[in-house]
Amino acid sequence: MKFFPHKTLLVFALGATTFSLADELEEVVVTADFRASELMTNASSVSILGELQMQERGAQHLEDVLSAAPNVSWSTGASRSRFVQIRGIGDLEQYAEPKYYPSVGVMVDDLELGSAANAGMLFDVAQVEILRGPQGTRFGASAHAGIVKINSNAPTKEFEAMLRGGVGNYGAYNYGAVLSGPLGESIAGRIALQQNRGDGYVENEYKGSNDSNKFDEVTGRGRLVWQPNDSASYELALFSFDAENGYDAYSLNNDRYTWSDQPGKDSQDTLALSVKGQWELGASNTLQAVATDLNADLGYSYDADWISPEVCEMNACSFGHDTAQERFDRDRDQTTFDLRLLGGSESMARGDWRYAFGLYGNQSSETLDYAYPSAWYGLYQSVSDYETDRYAAYGELEYAFSDALTLTAGLRLERFEDEYRDSNGVAHAGEDDLYNTELSLQYSFSDNVFGYATLALASKPGGVNVAASSQYAFMSPDFQGFMTGKLRFEDETLLNRELGLKLRALDNRFELRGALFYATRKNAQLENWMWDDAAGLWIGYLDSNSDSDSYGLELETSFDATDAIEVFANLGWLETQVDDITTFDLDRWEFVVKEDRDQSKSPGYQYNAGIRAVLPAGVSGVLEVEGRDESYFGYYHDGKLQSYDLLNASLSWANDSLRLNVWGRNLTNEDYATHGLYFGADPRDDFGAWSNQTYYQLGAPRTYGLDISWWL
């Protein structure tokens, strides 16, 4: 049998011919902590997306399911939505800047993906865990605002094999295989391979092609578990991801028809290895060790002027057009080590206590080859190297004042060092001492009602504004003056206060999880851009000269209305405010101060709601809606991503060995934006040549397909 860590039952997931949603209750387990814990007694705001939900949506990548979690948004700015924001905090895009420590961490099992998060594929994945709010004691700067953890399926003690394939519109298809089972009395292994392809959702009129924004991804996972005795276990895991995706996403007309003569790419070749060991030291102590090594070659480019010469042959264009393709080629290496001792009581009754102590290290390096060959500005290119070292000691103590009341206190001390140098003669080095602390009270009001109150202080290191440092000598005097003192950005501290309540009622047919939070950021690291027209430079940098506040609510509910019908609804509400930020206004053509501004990519509300039904003869179905409020997408302008509402549905049939799933997303075919830019890009006189306009990268249109899974 397949294991689905989801509230919905195993038989439903397999599609048995008779089934009741209320037959039994499967506990959902959160693993992204020192100890695995049940979702309903975990003292944080957590969303768990199970394998069944991924299959219902026909999900291939993390971006296909994130919208189900409240107060979680994302940016594209690439072929995939690999920039995640939680409660309005997170990276928006990546060009020259390295992203070793994004505000929201993305992990696959024990691997920290960082800027390699295009690899967040969902084939043979058991569940996705989204933890909102700082997770500083456990992950440090890697989870400053939260973390997304993808758990692949583990090797099984019994033989299991599965073939899966699917087809969809826009030339989409995928196929993959899983093989799992024992290799001896104490060894089990699992291997999963998948190819995913699609034309993308753009037609290039100049090229006469419909795949310039294509997907072409191969994912491979191998896991080997050895348990020689009851007190020791070892795991070796290999992860591979190869993508040759296109990047041709922007149109002067804000539609899905481009005229670029040099379409870009968003490629990735990642190979990673992890080794894990666990040893039981007596009755109450466990030693754990994890070591990982990751190498990623990342290629990113795009047609910088978005058009071909034919556009200005068919239209009158002021000053013609530039011809350029901006290119970023990265080679990234990362090695991590985590050694942890867990001890104390397994269950927490009055007077019991337990602890976790550990040591962590992370050494990362990145070489960037950058080129911008421009007909107007000439060839600009550089080579840079950026290295970071992080070392941490951490600990957590839990004490039970009574059978119902528990106190948890955690502390993490982290040393951060970085060094940057490039071919333009720019060099920087820095070092920081970072502190992450957490204090949490948990109270069980009854077997079905759990509450918590948490106070967490998290730190994220400062660093080098790589692009601005490299470009500094080429900037015009006014911009040089403005950037003086901004070539590095400061540490950010985040103080989060949170109250949570989780309960079950009506004979466990109703479930609710809610959290209220209020967070303040000191030296908030805010992504900003400026256009230096005299030098022909876009200057991107992190600005840490302002503070920011945010507060909000997250609610997740489900209700088994009958034995065969489940209703669910998730809601996020968010209010944010940046005290003040100075930027160069493209319309006023001067530096301005913007006060009390909403954070970028911080929609005021998000929701996901629907109904799941089990029908006769092995049939099941889901109908759901999702949406979000409008939000700013930058600080150098007032452009917004508009609000939207999407309709999704699926219909499945299954027996003991076969599952068929017909799915559709955005069934009303709504145009909505996932990222935006604001500047003068259009040379055509009839369209207001070179006037500042808002341009959008559009989300997926109506997509649908059929997936088939066959268990051998």
Tell me what pLDDT residue 24 has.
Answer: 44
- Over residues 212-219, mean pLDDT: 96
Tell me what pLDDT residue 289 has.
Answer: 98
Tell me what pLDDT residue 380 has.
Answer: 80
Find where tokens 């689905």 sit.
Answer: 4
Tell me what pLDDT residue 61 has.
Answer: 95
Domain boundaries, the chain: 10-346+383-711
- Over residues 342-359, mean pLDDT: 93
Distance CA 362, CA 367 (A): 17
Q: What is the pLDDT of residues 475-526, one digit of tens each?
A: 999 999 999 988 889 999 999 999 999 999 999 999 999 999 999 999 999 9
- Over residues 63-78, mean pLDDT: 90
47 in Cβ contact with 502 (< 8 Å): no
Model confidence at 186: pLDDT above 90? yes
In which band, very low, low, confident or very high, does the pLDDT at 251 lie, cut at 50, 70 and 90? very high
- Over residues 202-209, mean pLDDT: 95
- Residue 195: Cβ within 10 Å count: 16
Distance CA 290, CA 112 (A): 12
In which band, very low, low, confident or very high, does the pLDDT at 100 lie, cut at 50, 70 and 90? low
Tell me what pLDDT residue 78 has.
Answer: 84
Model confidence at 66: pLDDT above 60? yes
Tell me what pLDDT residue 99 has.
Answer: 66
Distance CA 344, CA 36 (A): 15
* Token duo for residue 188: 């089990």
Tell me what pLDDT residue 12 has.
Answer: 33
Q: What is the pLDDT of residues 129-145, one digit of tens each?
A: 999 999 988 998 889 99
In which band, very low, low, confident or very high, does the pLDDT at 83 lie, cut at 50, 70 and 90? confident
Find where tokens 């207001």 sit.
Answer: 688
- Over residues 76-93, mean pLDDT: 86
First to last CA, the chain: 11
In which band, very low, low, confident or very high, does the pLDDT at 535 lie, cut at 50, 70 and 90? confident
Q: b/e per residue, 654-684, with b = 16+ CB within 10 A?
A: beeeebbbebbbbeeeeebbbbbbbbebbbb
Tell me what pLDDT residue 136 has.
Answer: 84
Q: For 506-637, where are the E strands, in sequence order?
A: 510-522, 526-532, 537-543, 548-560, 565-585, 590-597, 605-615, 619-628, 631-632
Q: What is the pLDDT of residues 254-281, one digit of tens each?
A: 999 999 999 999 999 999 999 999 999 9
Tell me what pLDDT residue 2 has.
Answer: 33
In which band, very low, low, confident or very high, does the pLDDT at 93 lie, cut at 50, 70 and 90? confident
Indicate the pairing of strand 45-50 with strand 72-75: unpaired
Using CA atoms, how far residue 450 sits from 347, 444, 482, in Å, is 16, 5, 51
Model confidence at 231: pLDDT above 70? yes
Distance CA 220, CA 283 (A): 38
Q: What is the pLDDT of residues 288-346, one digit of tens each?
A: 999 999 999 999 999 988 999 889 889 998 877 777 889 999 999 999 999 999 999 98
Q: Residue 461: helix, strand or coil by DSSP? A: coil
Tell me what pLDDT residue 21 has.
Answer: 46
* Token duo for residue 196: 């995913």
In which band, very low, low, confident or very high, does the pLDDT at 9 lie, cut at 50, 70 and 90? very low
Tell me what pLDDT residue 5 has.
Answer: 35
Tell me what pLDDT residue 16 has.
Answer: 31
Q: Residue 668: helix, strand or coil by DSSP? A: coil
Indicate the pairing of strand 257-258 with strand 203-204: parallel
* Highest mean pLDDT, choosing among 11-20, 48-57, 98-107, 312-321: 48-57
Q: For 423-465, where are the E strands, in sequence order?
A: 427-446, 449-460, 463-464
418 in Cβ contact with 430 (< 8 Å): yes
Tell me what pLDDT residue 429 has.
Answer: 87
Q: What is the pLDDT of residues 11-29, one digit of tens each?
A: 333 333 333 444 445 678 9
Q: What is the pLDDT of residues 631-684, one digit of tens each?
A: 998 888 888 999 999 999 999 999 999 999 999 999 999 999 999 999 988 999
Distance CA 416, CA 105 (A): 17
CATH superfamily membership of 10-346+383-711? TonB-dependent receptor, beta-barrel domain (2.40.170.20)
* Token duo for residue 93: 């895009």
Nearest 5°: phi and psi at 41?
A: -125, 20
Using CA atoms, how far residue 273 sits from 107, 296, 613, in Å, is 13, 12, 41
Model confidence at 347: pLDDT above 70? yes
Taking the CA atoms of the chain, what radius of gyration do you get in angstroms? 25
Q: pLDDT above 90 covers what percent of the chain? A: 75
Distance CA 419, CA 430 (A): 7
